[in-house]
Amino acid sequence: MKILVNGDPREVPTPCSLGELVPHRSGVAAALNGNVIRGMDWDHTALSDGDAVEVLTAFQGG
Amino acid sequence: MKILVNGDPREVPTPCSLGELVPHRSGVAAALNGNVIRGMDWDHTALSDGDAVEVLTAFQGG
Amino acid sequence: MKILVNGDPREVPTPCSLGELVPHRSGVAAALNGNVIRGMDWDHTALSDGDAVEVLTAFQGG
Amino acid sequence: MKILVNGDPREVPTPCSLGELVPHRSGVAAALNGNVIRGMDWDHTALSDGDAVEVLTAFQGG
Amino acid sequence: MRIGTIEVTSRLWIGTGGLSSLATLRDVIDAADPGLVTVSMRRSSDLGPSGLIALLRERHVDVLPNTAGCLSAREAVRTAQLGREALGTSLVKLEVIGDERSLLPDVVGLVSAATELVADGFTVLPYTTADPVVARRLVDAGCAAVMPLGSPIGSGLGITDPSAIERVRAAVDVPVVLDAGIGTASDAALAMELGCDAVLAATAITRAEQPVAMAKALRLAVMAGHRARAAGRIPRLTEARPSSPMAGRAAL
Amino acid sequence: MRIGTIEVTSRLWIGTGGLSSLATLRDVIDAADPGLVTVSMRRSSDLGPSGLIALLRERHVDVLPNTAGCLSAREAVRTAQLGREALGTSLVKLEVIGDERSLLPDVVGLVSAATELVADGFTVLPYTTADPVVARRLVDAGCAAVMPLGSPIGSGLGITDPSAIERVRAAVDVPVVLDAGIGTASDAALAMELGCDAVLAATAITRAEQPVAMAKALRLAVMAGHRARAAGRIPRLTEARPSSPMAGRAAL
Amino acid sequence: MRIGTIEVTSRLWIGTGGLSSLATLRDVIDAADPGLVTVSMRRSSDLGPSGLIALLRERHVDVLPNTAGCLSAREAVRTAQLGREALGTSLVKLEVIGDERSLLPDVVGLVSAATELVADGFTVLPYTTADPVVARRLVDAGCAAVMPLGSPIGSGLGITDPSAIERVRAAVDVPVVLDAGIGTASDAALAMELGCDAVLAATAITRAEQPVAMAKALRLAVMAGHRARAAGRIPRLTEARPSSPMAGRAAL
Amino acid sequence: MRIGTIEVTSRLWIGTGGLSSLATLRDVIDAADPGLVTVSMRRSSDLGPSGLIALLRERHVDVLPNTAGCLSAREAVRTAQLGREALGTSLVKLEVIGDERSLLPDVVGLVSAATELVADGFTVLPYTTADPVVARRLVDAGCAAVMPLGSPIGSGLGITDPSAIERVRAAVDVPVVLDAGIGTASDAALAMELGCDAVLAATAITRAEQPVAMAKALRLAVMAGHRARAAGRIPRLTEARPSSPMAGRAAL
């Protein structure tokens, strides 16, 4: 299926969980369609076609 | 009956309308128990015992 | 003879007075070799070869 | 004889040198009638009646 | 300039608090030729109109009732409504005070009170901080002008942060009226140079040693500052720049 | 005010350098109504008088020749003498420049040049620093006024140290004329509020986008500042002070 | 000082944006010995943690994620939540930007976002205007500190209105941290003298010609200003006051 | 830095007037670690040396006798000579006071006294106005440093015209020491940022509520300002400049 990851379209296998999409647990955070998903919930958070996923980490900033 | 006019207790005859209490129409405004009453309504606004009436006019101010 | 007028060399007949060099009397002032000469004295102020004459007037200034 | 020491009149024996008047050599300086006298010269600087002597040292100051 | 439905010509507006007598106020009004004159709503001891109202009618000045002293949006809204009833004008200088000591506005309460009064048909002129974001929120809420403070009411400290007033000016397209802090003529001129459309002066006039003379001075200052902005001032340079020609100097 | 033998009525004085044409200068003069107009002495290419002189006579303005650009007392004294010859006035705005970059005065050379010119019968108006001690020395030397700078010539930075101007004002009893640094109307008003008797503006007018409009603005500003000082401004307070009565507020 | 659950010892906090390399950031951190270090949340290209996180852990500094660039309360709240997830801290420097050009906060949106985040268990440090009334509203909403701006982010203009910072200080009893505008050491010292508990410097360090040297300078400046406030400065006098005794002068 | 024949390491110099006891002065000296310590010459009641001299020798500090209170060049020259005799140093902080109320220097008398003392073998450090032309004259006369005032002695007003100090700095290549006006740490840091080589603080320390703590604060502030200047501060911008990246923001 096709999803958006950090604004870019990406093809992922079906089914696919947020945990499978994002290999790391520490130092990153994710939002699915605008809703923040806690790390503990990633594995049982299934992605659907057209989902928008944001994966953030810390960068230099004021 | 006893009412409060500008914070001071005052004895008025029963019945008594707001229009009877406040002789003037121009240059003043009145609120009954916190609600602003338009001048046109003063005559048919009956006062009740314990009412709080505020009668204001314009004073020098910044 | 050769003199300097406002910094520029100029050939003038001999003899030549400051008054002959400078036609005007009003709105200008003159210095001969650094010394201010009053207008009344221009006619009997003879110029010599190599003299430096400054002739000034008023310009826009702060 | 009578002299002025730091503005106050004082009776001193005759003769009297600046060195006899001022026991110390270090940390002080002296002027006789407005003229600074170097320490080496105090002993052979004789005081005369009416002399004004200033003896200064260092005080707290900005 | 246009404020709601009325055309305000003079760019000096005045407050009336602090004068000893109505006679002096009359002279101040004549000297200031004010665009608007603010008044506050207070209890009438004889339940009748004040002599002030008669004076303002006599001098044909447009009155701007304020909500001075109101500490909540609710109190300010009701005071505004009473002002409209008593004076027959929909104009209101909206003040929601957030701190009784500094008399600074509570901008959160201010925005909500402004929104309510606009819906009730008022022409709202809010006394606010020199904050361009709040100013735009007030304009979005329908305010007819914004009145940023130069410094605290009655302080006479002038405009403590001119860049903030410039930002407010750039942020909105309604009239900007400098309110509070004016101490003397140069403050009023500066306000106009920063792009304000008018200046409101109260204490600066009423508590000056000679109120009438100060009113005249501020009237001139506002005109001066307004014309100076239009004339296009020279840039600020860190270096000197000769005002007399360097060329043609004599050798002396 | 009285400057030497002549009575100067207008408190705005102007410099004439930097304008593109005499026609504009005529309009600037009419708009400014200046008390004195400064000119500089430069070489005449045709050995004759400049058109500027004709214009100043036509407008009946009192002229104040300066010694702009002089880097020594000697040069300044001679330039002053040439100005007197050419213009038939004993007035001189004395400049002894100590640094060609900042155009700041050399106060040591200034005091000696002033002393020499006073002895020669001049009415000396020295361009000086905002230093009260130097100002008093200049007055002791016989100067008819002192002209402290607000900031460097042509910088438009206004008055960088107002307290210094106040000290000069307190130090002398001759007229104090703020010279150099004026950028716009509020600067001119402030100068007068600090106690100056007049303001000299050159670049602020001549290099403004619209010189005539700025001349008018500065004229109003000088009047405003002069009246404001006379009116007695309110004190500066660190706290707010209500301009509306606290008493008589309604319970709403 | 105590910020929520953690004890912050150093009064200099730093932002990390603008440095060319993590190596320089390491040296800056060592020179500044910062109480807190701010970071921003951005998209991870490889969906993994940044090298910055590793560096901060290596230096054992407490991290303060911000919501820089968020233009609405909603966006700021979500960004705060993502910061908490990624960094395992409940601290957040809350920014709700009201104007993309001046980067000034939207205080109305700020108060509502702060309220929501406090309810969600965050320790909220809001970037706000130097407005004491807004500051008190933020504290009433449960914020652990307030971070008023001295001047616009990255401007280096220092503290344009010191009296406003003093009013914020007087209005709240939580830590006040000067945020935005610091240009150099004297600005940081002044912030502390006005009563701030700490100073956050970002651009002042990261864009200085020598970031590490400036970090050291600001660290000293913050200490100097903090001690100076505690030492009780002399009053400002308009007159001079001799520092040497007038008595005992010689007659020479 | 080198002052005449001696090497001065610390950039904080202190005045000693105004302290209640020599014991406190000892602690102030230890906290300030001053490069030079100024003293004034006064009449000795017992015609012997003061306890102050013993203390200064005990702490091994270099002493800088001043001519405070001298109203003429002649008086200052003689006082300098007496200081040299009493303290065995050729250093002198030369003060020629032109006005007993403002305690501002008489720069004309100052230049002539400096010339005379240099010829007499003194290392002259003149207390002067922030006038670059006078500063250059003093250096041409052979002065080893210049000590411009930030604001009147003991006023605590800091540096009222920073641009003037910058001009003095640019005008001379000898050490520039900010003298007079320092009120607190940020003033001292600013002086160094403007390019001064050292700061002299007297009243700021001696009349602070806690002199020893303020001495420490000023010592840190001078170091901070000195390092900040070397670090190269960011430019002042009228616009904001983001300190967090705009790229990579999430869509939330």
Tell me the pLDDT tens digit for each residue of B5-53. Answer: 999 999 989 899 999 999 888 899 999 999 999 989 999 999 999 999 9
pLDDT category of residue E5 using cuts at 50, 70 and 90: confident
Q: Mean pLDDT over residues G187-192, rounded?
A: 98
Asked if residue H200 has pLDDT above 90, the reply is: yes
Q: Which residues of F touch E234 (CB under 8 A)?
A: 154, 156, 183-184, 203-204, 207-208
Backbone angles phi, psi at A47, to 5 degrees: -90, 145
The complex's ipTM works out to 0.91
Nearest to D26 by CA among H89, G249, H23: H89
pLDDT category of residue E145 using cuts at 50, 70 and 90: very high
Q: Mean pLDDT over residues D24-31, rounded?
A: 91
Beta-bridge partner residues of F93: F66, F125
Question: Do E124 and E92 touch, CB atoms closer than 8 A?
Answer: yes
Asked if residue E246 has pLDDT above 90, the reply is: no
Interface of E with B in 49-88 (CB under 8 A): 49-50, 52-53, 56, 63, 65-66, 68, 78, 81-87
Q: CA dist G26 to B46, G31, G32, G55, G213, Å?
A: 78, 9, 10, 7, 13
Asked if residue G156 has pLDDT above 90, the reply is: yes
Q: Which residues of F touch C40 (CB under 8 A)?
A: none
Asked if residue E247 has pLDDT above 90, the reply is: no
Question: Do E181 and B41 touch, CB atoms closer than 8 A?
Answer: no
Asked if residue G169 has pLDDT above 90, the reply is: yes
Beta-bridge partner residues of G3: G6
Q: Which residues of F touch C22 (CB under 8 A)?
A: 47
Asked if residue D24 has pLDDT above 90, the reply is: no
pLDDT, residue A62, reads 81
Question: Do E67 and E96 touch, CB atoms closer than 8 A?
Answer: yes
Decide if H41 and D26 are in contact by the 8 Å CB cutoff.
no
Decide if D22 and H68 are in contact by the 8 Å CB cutoff.
no
Decide if E137 and G164 are in contact by the 8 Å CB cutoff.
no
Q: Which runs of E-coded beta strand occur in F44-146? A: 63-66, 91-94, 123-128
Secondary structure element (H or E) that encloses residue G222, with its range: helix G211-231
Q: Which two tokens stand for residue H178?
A: 């900010």
Nearest CA in chain G to A30: G82
Q: Is G47 near chain D, with CB under 8 Å?
A: no
Q: Which chains touch F (3 or more CB pairs under 8 A)?
A: B, C, E, H
pLDDT category of residue H79 using cuts at 50, 70 and 90: very high
Cβ neighbours around F56 below 10 Å, total = 22
Asked if residue H53 has pLDDT above 90, the reply is: yes
> Which residues of D touch chain H, with CB atoms under 8 Å apart?
5-7, 21-24, 26-31, 34, 36, 38-39, 54-62
Asked if residue D58 has pLDDT above 90, the reply is: yes
pLDDT, residue B23, reads 86
Asked if residue C61 has pLDDT above 90, the reply is: no
Active site residues per annotation of E: 93
Backbone angles phi, psi at H141, to 5 degrees: -80, -5
Backbone angles phi, psi at G12, to 5 degrees: -105, 120
Asked if residue E141 has pLDDT above 90, the reply is: yes
**Annotated catalytic residue F216:** no
Interface of E with G in 109-148 (CB under 8 A): 111, 129, 131-134, 136-137
Asked if residue B62 has pLDDT above 90, the reply is: no
Secondary structure element (H or E) that encloses residue A57, with its range: strand A52-60
Q: Which of D7, D61, D62 sits opposite G251 (nearest CB)?
A: D7
Question: What is the least distance, in Å, from the CA of A34 to any CA of chain G?
Answer: 8
Question: Do G91 and G118 touch, CB atoms closer than 8 A?
Answer: no
Asked if residue H36 has pLDDT above 90, the reply is: yes
Q: CA dist H248 to A60, D25, G86, G185, Å?
A: 12, 79, 16, 32
Decide if C62 and E248 are in contact by the 8 Å CB cutoff.
no
Q: Which residues of D touch H91 (CB under 8 A)?
A: none
Q: Do chains F and D touch (3 or more CB pairs under 8 A)?
A: no
3-state secondary structure of F193: helix
Q: Which residues of C4-16 are buried (b: 16+ CB within 10 A; e: fewer)?
A: ebbeeeeebeeee
One-letter amino acid of F184: T
Asked if residue G232 has pLDDT above 90, the reply is: yes
CA F215-F219-F223 angle, 5° bins = 165
Decide if F49 and C56 are in contact by the 8 Å CB cutoff.
no
pLDDT, residue D23, reads 86
pLDDT category of residue E18 using cuts at 50, 70 and 90: confident
Active site residues per annotation of H: 93
pLDDT, residue H134, reads 98
Question: Do F110 and F138 touch, CB atoms closer than 8 A?
Answer: yes
Q: Which residues of chain F have pLDDT under 50?
A: none
Interface of F with H in 74-113 (CB under 8 A): 98-99, 102, 104-108, 111
3-state secondary structure of F179: strand
User: Whose structure tokens read 């999803």?
Assistant: A3
Q: Is F161 near chain H, with CB under 8 Å?
A: yes
pLDDT category of residue H252 using cuts at 50, 70 and 90: confident
Question: What is the least distance, in Å, from the CA of D2 to any CA of chain H?
Answer: 17
Decide if F85 and C24 are in contact by the 8 Å CB cutoff.
no
One-letter amino acid of H79: T
pLDDT, residue F23, reads 93
Give F103's contacts (C-beta < 8 A, 6+ positions apart). E240, E242, F97, F152, F153, F154
* Mean pLDDT across chain G: 95
Decide if H133 and F161 are in contact by the 8 Å CB cutoff.
no
Structure confidence by residue, pLDDT tens digits, G58-80: 999 999 999 999 999 999 999 99
Decide if E243 and C62 are in contact by the 8 Å CB cutoff.
yes
Asked if residue H56 has pLDDT above 90, the reply is: yes
Decide if G107 and E134 are in contact by the 8 Å CB cutoff.
yes
Query: How many angstroms separate the CA atoms of G225 and H189, rounded?
Result: 10
Nearest to F1 by CA among H27, F9, G123: F9
Q: Which residues of E touch G133 (CB under 8 A)?
A: 98-99, 104-107
User: Whose structure tokens read 């009004």?
Assistant: E29
Structure confidence by residue, pLDDT tens digits, D39-56: 899 999 999 999 999 999
* Mean pLDDT across chain E: 95
Q: Which residues of E touch F189 (CB under 8 A)?
A: 184-186, 189, 221, 224
Nearest to G94 by CA among G86, G74, A37: G74
Question: Do E149 and E180 touch, CB atoms closer than 8 A?
Answer: yes
Q: Which residues of F touch C55 (CB under 8 A)?
A: 43-44, 47
Residue F175: half-sphere exposure toward Cβ, Cα within 13 Å: 24
3-state helix, strand, coil in chain A (%, to 5): 10, 40, 45
Nearest CA in chain B to F250: B54
Q: Which of E78, E220, E249 sits opposite F224 (nearest CB)?
A: E220
Q: Mean pLDDT over residues E71-98, rounded?
A: 96
pLDDT, residue C44, reads 92
Nearest CA in chain D to H206: D62
Query: How many angstroms separate the CA atoms of F136 and E130, rounded?
Result: 43
* Mean pLDDT across chain H: 95
* Pairs across C and F, CB distance < 8 A: 112
Decide if E252 and C34 are in contact by the 8 Å CB cutoff.
yes
pLDDT, residue H245, reads 83
Query: How many angstroms separate the CA atoms of F62 and F93, rounded?
Result: 13
Decide if F224 and E221 are in contact by the 8 Å CB cutoff.
yes
Nearest CA in chain G to E98: G133
